[in-house]
Structure 1
Amino acid sequence: MKILFVEDEATIAETTIPAFQKQGFPVDHVETVRDAEAALSVYDYDLILLDRVLPDGDGLDLLAALRRAKDATPVILMSSIRHSVAERISGLDRGADDYITKPFDRDELISRARSILRRPAAMSRRVIEIANVVMDIEARSLIVGGTAIRVARRELSLLEQLLGARGRIVPREAIERNCYGFDDEVSVNAIDVSLHRLRKALVDAGARIAIVTVRGIGYMVEETV
């Protein structure tokens, strides 16, 4: 699950983004309404963390535009200067899923994000099961043949995409977009390394699935005998 973090205060971004990444969430960070619009025109996000006061406008206007366009992506509004009940109600009435004031506790924000992602609209993606492999998206856990196994954060995000596609090919470019944020440094063979580690972990655990390379296109998961 990928997050768009729209925040122009560097100190908040520098402390909040790593906290989400540590929990397994790839995060794209932008600082303006214009850059947020550009990101949203290219990528599908599972959650938007949206500041109210941005250098080129009010985040609430961006939220209103999303809802007019029938974009139901969950949004948590963040604000440091509009603390009144009326302002919070206004944000919620215009389509926000939650509203938090600054300064906020990072753990509380992560908890609120998880709560939103557990709602019915997102729950269909929460647990994916193929053959003897079960992945709990919200809990960031992987079980093979009834036994929990540990894999690195990026390998888990990669597997989430492949399992979620359920037999369809996932283009390599899509994996790059969803496993890495804008600011991540991605080496030429980063995905190949992650795929190698993930394949080894699945084989060692006795998984009855295989990650197949479709040359020149991408990758897919197939059940094995």
Structure 2
Amino acid sequence: MRYLLIEDSAEVAVPILRYFQAKGYAIDHADTIKLAKASLQVQDYDAVILDLNMPDGNGMDLLVQLRRERNQHPPVLVLSVNHAVDTRLKSFESGANDYLLKPFDLRELDARLRNLLTPPVGATGRVLRLGELELDFHERQITFRGELLQLSPKDFTLLEVLLVNANRPVSKSMLQDKLYGFGDGAVSPNAIELRIARIRKKLQPTGVGIKALWGIGYQIKLDD
């Protein structure tokens, strides 16, 4: 998953960034409307976390523009200290998908965001299955015959992306986009290959494999 956090307060932003990075998400941070617009122009996001009171503009105006101009409409969760019903209603009318009052628990923010994500094709409720491998989106866990696969947060995210796109090729650039944000700095050219190798070992007993497609990327599927 890759999120965009639009929040000018470091006191609010830093804990959010640390929380989601520790869970293996890619999350970009914009502390101005200008930077948020630049990020949205070059990157597609699974969800946007938007503070309404920004130093160089109104988050509500950005929300309206996002809904009007973007071909893809990522879910938007608004963060605000404003308890007024009128403000919440205006946020929803402008295109917000959820509204969370400050202060909040990071676990609630995480749960609300995942509830906004559209389940992939083939999922039953919150669970996607490939053979006997099961991905639970809300619990963020992957199991085989009821046993939890022990994966690092980033390896989990990579495997999640592959499973969501089961039986379809996934490019290396897409995997990098989902795993690493702008703030992650230089990423080793073989970082994806190393993670794939580790995940393959975890999948050996499951009957599910990851096939490398030369010049295209990777594809997860049931073993032949």
Q: TM-score normalised by the shorter chain: which range applies? A: 0.7 to 0.9
Counterpart in the other structure of 2:211:
212
How far the C-alpha of 1:197 sits from its partner, in A, is 0.9
How far the C-alpha of 1:99 sits from its partner, in A, is 1.9
Tell me the matched-pair count. Answer: 219
How far the C-alpha of 1:115 sits from its partner, in A, is 3.5
Counterpart CA distance in 2 for 1:102 and 1:220 is 41
Give the 3 Å change call, closer, same or farther, for CA 196–9 of structure 1 in structure 2. Answer: same
Q: 1:137-148, aligned counterparts within 5 Å?
A: 137-148=137-148
How far the C-alpha of 1:91 sits from its partner, in A, is 1.2
3-state DSSP of counterpart to 2:74: coil
Q: 1:136-175, aligned counterparts within 5 Å?
A: 136-175=136-175
Counterpart CA distance in 1 for 2:216 and 2:148 is 31
Counterpart CA distance in 1 for 2:160 and 2:175 is 10
AA in 2 matched with 1:218: G
Counterpart in the other structure of 1:37:
37
Asked if structure 1 preserves the Cα contact closer than 8 Å seen for 2:133 and 2:143, the reply is yes
Counterpart in the other structure of 2:198:
197
Asked if structure 2 preserves the Cα contact closer than 8 Å seen for 1:24 and 1:140, the reply is no
AA in 2 matched with 1:28: D
How far the C-alpha of 1:192 sits from its partner, in A, is 1.9
How far the C-alpha of 1:196 sits from its partner, in A, is 1.3
Counterpart in the other structure of 1:132:
132
Counterpart CA distance in 2 for 1:113 and 1:103 is 16
Counterpart CA distance in 1 for 2:100 and 2:136 is 27
Counterpart in the other structure of 2:79:
78
How far the C-alpha of 1:24 sits from its partner, in A, is 4.0
TM-score, normalization: structure 1?
Answer: 0.86
How far the C-alpha of 1:71 sits from its partner, in A, is 4.3
Counterpart in the other structure of 1:176:
176
Give the 3 Å change call, closer, same or farther, for CA 221–123 of structure 1 in structure 2. Answer: closer
